[in-house]
Amino acid sequence: MNFIFDVGNVLIDFKPLVFLEELFRDKTLEEAMHRIVFKSLEWVKLDQGLLTHREATDIFCAREPNLQQEIRKTMQNLKGMLTLMPATVELLSQIKEMGHDLYYLSNYHKELRDHVVSKYSFWGLFDGGVFSCDIHEIKPSPEIYRHLLCKYQLSSKDCLFFDDMEENIAAAQAEGIRGVLFTDAECIRPFLCSIK
């Protein structure tokens, strides 16, 4: 069986509102930065690899000139938000030891991808994977799932996909991949027992 994992909120924390609360301790600023940065079209383009970190920052600052300092602070500190989720990561070795293959499939910026790949060692357990920024496609677009299957010559019926977003699970299932909505590491354990 091929175990496919999303990265954000599955292997590595991605919680913008918590991050902004710790960064500013100001509800008005937190809400403004969440809207300006994380809910923007530019954030999607970052995931698609169509904008650089600097280009997006400049666009945000030009759009909201009165909040340039806060925007730059937000963008400069994004890496601090990406902390390991040890309970899930600890299961990766167990999955490999059982003879299964591991893949990742995640929406990620180039700069943040480079950071987490260099910081965390668990990537060596994976047989492969796809980051959205490398192929200019993002979940839940069907193309990103098809790309993963084609790149590694995987049969969709032999794949199990864990993601924290229902729309991404639905898109995977539309491609014939069995999807499981990730809530915590415990949702993975039943599959370790039932799949041989």
For 37-80, how does the pLDDT look when each residue is reduced to its tens digit (9 = 90+)?
Answer: 999 999 999 999 999 999 999 999 999 999 999 999 999 999 99
pLDDT 10s digits, 2-41:
999 999 999 999 999 999 999 999 999 999 999 999 999 9
Give the mean pLDDT of 124-147.
98
Here the tokens at position 36 are 């300006």
Domain boundaries defined on the chain: 2-13+82-194, 16-79
Q: What does the pLDDT read at residue 40?
A: 98
What pLDDT is stored for residue 182 in this prediction?
97
- What fold does the segment set 2-13+82-194 form as a domain? Rossmann fold (3.40.50)
CATH of region 16-79:
1.20.1160
pLDDT band at 139 (very low <50, low <70, confident <90, very high): very high
CA–centroid distance for 33 within its chain: 20
Over the stretch 47-59, which tens digit does the pLDDT of each residue have?
Answer: 999 999 999 999 9
Backbone region of residue 56 per phi and psi (left: phi > 0; alpha: psi in -120 to 50; beta: other values): alpha
